[in-house]
Structure 1
């Protein structure tokens, strides 16, 4: 039988946080509107990220030529997703939201098959999603 490692415990904690996220957000939206709530989340996440990076000595600025791409990724991958996520939770139940989130792998696979027919690669393995 495999020993439980610290990494296993961290993964369990992350899964528990993700699992509780929808219920916590739905509860918080009873007190704050979707946009103020999301703004507060972004502010807290930004401050904590900068503090963590500074504490570990990994704080560095991106290269100048990377900034436009990072802005596009940040606006679409984080801001747009979060605004739609929070607005969606506000309009439906926590259970419906959790059910929809559980189907994300199905949607990603279907969209990848339509938009990138070579995905998944013929030789799946570690890192095959990045090929």
Structure 2
């Protein structure tokens, strides 16, 4: 794949994932969160099984890869997805996207603790800048600390980001045998096996409103954002520099915030805008510091 084609696909992925935050927000009006996550992962798994088969990479994972299959399936695709949808019930889609993308901040202390990585001045500065961004998001002037529902929603989103960071550390330590594409359908299947009993347990009398809009939302979340976008991510990372994809992905919460403002009328508050700017700058600084350290 040429760099130009890869860049075009990467931009498409960022837009699709960013727009999906307000799409999921609207989808919760039709589908309860646990069933939403279950249907999304099921459709995504079916799509990726087909993609892996067409690419000649559909095979059972070897024993060495099952820990990472379970880790990604249970944490990133199962738990993170549910926590994001639960948080979206009480938080605007733009703010939810920003909180979800604080994940790189929490990777840093975990990497120091678990992987014994050394802290450079750039990484420390980036982490402090990121914490300042989180502080801006939760400043008393722009955040209602007296609303328990808002507190719960924001807490669930931050918990999801922290768990995703834990899973990323596991990815860094795992010795891969199978390719990411060959493992992805099985990871999504693990997520489905986790979400199915949770949906039955927590939403036994769930009512799904089947309308053209809800079907379109599921089609967007399943084959597109859980199928096509994952394939794009796996593909472009081989054609573009890691620094480019890491920093470029910061456009996702920006797209989510702008899409929420345009579609749902969510205000572009100074709190969210300032927090996103600081967190985005922090993540960019962390990525560049990591790149410089590797070159050195």
| TM-score grouping bracket, smaller chain normalisation | 0.7 to 0.9
* Structure 2 residue 51 is matched with structure 1 residue 29: no
RMSD: 2.9
For residues 25-60 of structure 1, the C-alpha deviation after alignment (integer angstroms, 9 at most, x for no partner) is: 101111110011111101100000000011111111
Alpha-carbon distance in structure 1 between the residues aligned to 2:25 and 2:104: 23
Alpha-carbon distance in structure 1 between the residues aligned to 2:104 and 2:291: 17
More deviation, 39-48/109-118: 109-118
Q: Secondary structure at the match of 1:27?
A: helix
Structure 1 pair 102–74 and aligned structure 2 pair: CA distance change class (3 A)? closer
Q: Secondary structure at the match of 1:109?
A: helix
> 2:39 matched to which residue of 1?
40
Taking the TM superposition and a 5 Å limit, the aligned residue runs for 1:111-126 are: 111-113=110-112, 115-119=114-118, 124-125=290-291
Q: Which runs of 5+ in 1 are unaligned?
A: none
Structure 1 pair 117–64 and aligned structure 2 pair: CA distance change class (3 A)? closer
* Structure 2 residue 251 is matched with structure 1 residue 85: no
> 2:94 matched to which residue of 1?
95
Alpha-carbon distance in structure 1 between the residues aligned to 2:27 and 2:43: 15
Alpha-carbon distance in structure 1 between the residues aligned to 2:9 and 2:64: 35
For residues 40-84 of structure 1, the C-alpha deviation after alignment (integer angstroms, 9 at most, x for no partner) is: 101100000000011111111111454355224421232111111
Higher normalized contact order (CA 8 Å, seq sep 6+, divided by chain length): 2
Alpha-carbon distance in structure 1 between the residues aligned to 2:63 and 2:102: 37
> 2:104 matched to which residue of 1?
105
> 1:15 matched to which residue of 2?
14
* Structure 2 residue 5 is matched with structure 1 residue 6: yes
For residues 82-105 of structure 1, the C-alpha deviation after alignment (integer angstroms, 9 at most, x for no partner) is: 111111112221122022134333
Structure 1 pair 108–67 and aligned structure 2 pair: CA distance change class (3 A)? closer
TM-score (norm 2): 0.37
TM-score (norm 1): 0.77
Alpha-carbon distance in structure 1 between the residues aligned to 2:119 and 2:51: 35
Q: Secondary structure at the match of 1:31?
A: coil
Paired positions, count = 125
